């Protein structure tokens, strides 16, 4: 009996020491997995409201370079798009994007409105982007972020996901295009942001939760 108890006690002690060791070094990868996750969360946060918008240069649909610096001194609105996303299809078909573009131009006639496609996992979506805009009478530049670097830099999570940059190059809004994924939105956050900018007011809210399909990096 004593021998049996000694074996059980020794086994329990070994398990306890093993568990302690696992906890201390963060598991089999020494905590690397947790640190990777933390870095991933930080990267996913992307550009911060109130800070300078990250600069970038991308190719347009006709193969030309377009840089954010080309719009220096102007208000810039960026909408992440994917023509193969049903939510992106909905917001052009029901007039949401057209109304947003008009609302922005009403406040700042020289404002620049961009469509960026970062969905490299859906290569066909790049080819479809020009017609997606043209067929829905949305006259804005289409930029191709084929390696996803700009989308990740900004923290673009969905299509659509919108960003508003003021004339000083500061990001003042990021989030949903309006307040309803179902298409019955009463508040267009992008138009509200540029209207507040025009009035010299603080943009509120500066951030909302974006909706739509995930960006297919």
Residue 24 has pLDDT above 50, yes or no: no
> What residue spans define the domains of the chain?
1-45, 49-214
Q: What is the mean pLDDT of the chain?
A: 84
- What would the pLDDT profile of 178-208 be if each residue is shown by its tens digit? 998 887 878 999 999 999 999 999 999 999 9
- What would the pLDDT profile of 132-143 be if each residue is shown by its tens digit? 999 999 999 999
- Gap between the Cα atoms of 118 and 157, Å rounded: 10
Residue 21 has pLDDT above 90, yes or no: no
pTM above 0.75, yes or no: yes
What is the residue whose two structure tokens read 């909408």?
A: 79
- Gap between the Cα atoms of 40 and 46, Å rounded: 10
Determine what percent of the chain is predicted with pLDDT higher than 90.
Answer: 76
CB-CB contact of 107 with 188 (8 Å): no
* CATH of region 49-214: 3.40.30.10
14 confidence band (pLDDT: 50, 70, 90)? very low
């Amino acid at each position: 009996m004593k021998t049996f108890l000694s074996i059980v006690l020794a086994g329990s002690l070994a398990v306890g020491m093993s568990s302690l060791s696992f906890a201390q070094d963060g598991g089999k990868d020494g905590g690397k997995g947790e640190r990777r996750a933390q870095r991933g969360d930080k990267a996913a946060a992307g550009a911060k409201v109130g800070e300078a918008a990250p600069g970038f240069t991308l190719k347009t649909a006709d193969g030309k370079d377009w840089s954010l610096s080309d719009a220096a001194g102007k208000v810039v609105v960026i909408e992440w798009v994917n023509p193969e996303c049903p939510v992106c299809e909905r917001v052009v078909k029901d007039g949401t994007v057209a109304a947003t573009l008009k609302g922005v131009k009403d406040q700042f006639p020289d404002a620049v409105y961009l469509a960026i496609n970062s969905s490299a996992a859906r290569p066909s979506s790049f080819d479809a982007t020009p017609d997606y805009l043209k067929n829905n009478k949305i006259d804005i530049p289409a930029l191709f972020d084929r390696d996803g670097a700009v989308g990740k830099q900004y923290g673009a999570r969905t299509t659509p996901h919108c960003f508003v940059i003021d004339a000083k190059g500061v990001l003042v809004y990021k989030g949903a295009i309006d307040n309803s994924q179902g298409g019955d939105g009463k508040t267009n956050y992008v138009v509200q942001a540029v209207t507040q900018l025009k009035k010299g007011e603080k943009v509120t809210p500066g951030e909302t939760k974006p909706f739509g399909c995930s960006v297919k990096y």
